[in-house]
Amino acid sequence: MNEQVFSLRMPVERSSCAVFNSPHSGRDYPAAFLESSRLDPLQIRSSEDAFVDELFARAPECGAPLLAARVPRAFLDLNRGPEDLDPALIDGAARRAVNPRIVAGLGVIPRVVAEGRPIIEGKLTLAEAEQRIAAHWHPYHAELATLVDGARARFGSAILFDCHSMPHDALATAPVVWGRRPDVILGDRFGAACDRWLIDAATEIFTAAGFVVARNAPFAGGYITQAYGRPRMGVHALQIEIDRALYMDEARVERLPCFEQIRGRIGAAVARLSELGPREMRVAAE
């Protein structure tokens, strides 16, 4: 079952304390799910972080594992908590304190994709929702936790890079950096998910690779960054958002001719990110 949930590429030799994670790049849509959907094949992919796992594919050759979802985000959002059930979609789900993501239809089982388009007619039963979470969410996060804990046990610390893409339109609310909208947004939940040295280093690395970088606006980090980032315990988590318009046609969900060039630049950044670790942590503490 796990091979239906995620793919895991391990390095020949694990020489980095980094773990690269792509929870929204899954594109294995169950046939029954597609048949039940109101959306056409392109619309249903609009919330997918298409090709992000390919952009960060250099991680294993740099000594770090790369975990990537196979299950698609429209089916199950691995960057939400398992308790984030949407009562508007799931019959029998308990109503909790107001959660803006759930209100927007973006719970652990999404009600909508991009532009608020409903995925299915009607509702799921609570039993159906719980079965989906048990079969997919829990195995994925068990593997991610194992990778992070393994890095900390082996190297004394772990760095989780949570890799995503963002619609170009989302940058309308992003801060202007050097007169331009950013290409990359790094999110550390305003300092809660990692020590300052890490986001500083990542900013420098992506800038050196030719990208304009902003921090925490409009994306500061989701469930994974919040749940795994425990800097006082030696686990640092940083979310990386890449502008989709840099490398893909968003409407067609197709790679642009410049895809390999962008992948090369991100690969160069991945190599340097993989070199970060205990030495930088010791220097920051001195």
For residue 48, is it within any domain?
yes
- Burial, 143: exposed, middle or buried (Cβ in 10 Å; 0-12, 13-18, 19+)? middle
pTM, full prediction = 0.95
- Does a structural domain hold residue 141? yes
What's the confidence (pLDDT) of residue 285?
46
Block residue for tokens 């947004």: 185
Task: Return the pLDDT at 178.
Answer: 83
Residue 213 lies in a domain: yes
- Residue 201 placed within a domain: yes
- Give the tens place of pLDDT for each residue, 57-104: 999 999 999 999 999 999 999 999 999 999 999 998 888 776 889 999
Strands 117-118 and 112-113: antiparallel
Q: What is the DSSP string of 177-241?
A: BTTB--SEEEE-TTTTSS-HHHHHHHHHHHHHTT--EEESSS----HHHHHH-BGGGTEEEEEEE
3-state SS track over 130-194: HHHHHHHHHHHHHHHHHHHHHHHHHHCCEEEEEEEEECHHHHHHCCCECCECCCEEEECCCCCCC
Place 280 in a pLDDT band, splitting at 50, 70 and 90.
Answer: low
Q: What is the mean pLDDT of residues 248-256?
A: 97
Parent domain of 39 = 2-68+131-285
Q: Is residue 212 pLDDT above 90, yes or no?
A: yes
> Scanning the structure block, which residue is given the tokens 């890490």?
198
**Distance of CA 218 to CAs 65, 184, 192, Å?**
28, 11, 16
Give the span between the Cα atoms of 253 and 224, in whole angstroms. Answer: 25
User: In degrees rounded to 5, what are phi and psi of residue 255?
Assistant: -65, 140
Residue 110 lies in a domain: no
Sign for the CA dihedral angle at 3, 188, 261, 258 comes to positive
Going by C-alpha positions, the residue among 84, 68, 73 that lies closest to residue 129 is: 84
> Is the pLDDT confidence value at 229 over 70?
yes
Within 8 A by CB and 6+ apart from 40, the residues are: none
Q: Residue 282: pLDDT band by 50, 70, 90 thresholds?
A: very low
Q: Give CA–CA dist 38/44, Å, rounded.
A: 9
Answer yes or no: is 75 within a domain.
Answer: no
Q: Which residue has the tokens 């079965």?
A: 131
pLDDT recorded at residue 24: 98
d(Cα 14, Cα 265) in Å, to the nearest integer?
Answer: 23
Q: What is the mean pLDDT of the chain?
A: 94
pLDDT in tens, 2-46: 778 999 999 999 999 999 999 999 999 999 999 999 999 899 999
**Which phi and psi (to 5°) does residue 8 adopt?**
-130, 120
Residue 286 has a pLDDT of 44
Q: What is the pLDDT of residue 281?
A: 55
* Total count of domains within the chain: 1
Token pair of 226, please?
A: 């919040």
Q: What's the CATH code of the domain at 191?
A: 3.40.630.40
Q: Which residue, among 193, 215, 194, 188, has the nearest Cα to 204 in the 3D structure?
A: 215
| Cα 96 to Cα 63: distance, rounded to the nearest angstrom | 42
Could you tell me if residue 13 is inside a domain?
yes
Residues constituting the chain: 286
pLDDT, tens digit (0-9, with 9 covering 90-100), for 185-203: 999 999 999 999 999 999 9
Tokens in use for 184?
Answer: 């990359």
Residue 92 lies in a domain: no
